[in-house]
Amino acid sequence: MNLEEKLRSYLSERRLTHSRGTMEAAVRLAEYYGSEVEKARLAGLLHDVARDMELSRLERVLGRGIEGIGEPFRTVSLLHAPAGSMVARSDFGVEEPDVLRSIEVHTTGHPSMTLLNKIIFVADFIEPGRSFRGVQTARRLAFRNLDRTVAYILGFTLRSLLMRNLPILEVTCRAYNAYSVRANNE
């Protein structure tokens, strides 16, 4: 059974289509920025491996690692990324630390992301199936300046969370500050 066939048992068809689109965008970005294409392909395809899991299952996968995460942040949208990193390792045999870290931080960002981490973070946002306001700007930026694109996406995310009165993880604020400073100093 190949990777995509196995992934079908974890994801809905809609989510699998999104994951394929993220993989395609990640490969294009990796080629453009000189990153390892096969790692980008793998991380892009597996980035949402735990996205269709129920919250209780995500909490079991994370185990004791969930202790520092407060109630407002215990949501599928936030927990699927760190849980996905663990599932990629345990169920898919992924050992490459940068691939696992890319899966782990693809929703929240992090102030010190590697090139591959940034590629997956951006690819998830700009994949071809996305059609929300702001995605075209990110697509244009993505092939000009990756740090500026990360700052744009983090700012977009923060505005969206604020408009909906949702709590914001500290790491996302720190990531925004780090990448907005980098983008403005270039």
What is the pLDDT at residue 96? 98
Do residues 81 and 103 lie in contact, with contact meaning Cβ atoms separated by under 8 Å? yes
What is the pLDDT at residue 67? 67
Residue at token pair 């990531």: 175
- CATH number of the domain where residue 94 is located: 1.10.3210.10
Distance CA 85, CA 71 (A): 21
What is the pLDDT at residue 69? 72
Percentages helix, strand, coil for the chain (3-state, rounded to 5) are 70, 0, 30
Closest-CA residue to 78 (of 108, 117, 103): 108
Query: What is the reported pTM?
Result: 0.96
Spatial neighbors of 106 by CB under 8 A, at least 6 apart, are: 47, 81, 117, 120, 121, 124
What is the pLDDT at residue 68? 64
Instruction: Tell me, yes or no, whether 142 lies in a domain.
Output: no
Q: What is the extent of the structural domain holding 8?
A: 3-132
Instruction: Tell me, yes or no, whether 164 lies in a domain.
Output: no
What is the pLDDT at residue 63? 87
Q: Report the domain count for the chain.
A: 1
Instruction: Tell me, yes or no, whether 139 lies in a domain.
Output: no
Instruction: Tell me, yes or no, whether 107 lies in a domain.
Output: yes
Per-residue pLDDT of the chain (186 residues; tens, 9 = 90+): 789 999 999 999 999 999 999 999 999 999 999 999 999 999 999 999 999 999 999 999 998 777 667 777 889 999 999 999 999 999 999 999 999 999 999 999 999 999 999 999 999 999 999 999 899 999 999 999 999 999 999 999 999 999 999 989 999 999 999 999 988 887
Do residues 63 and 33 lie in contact, with contact meaning Cβ atoms separated by under 8 Å? no
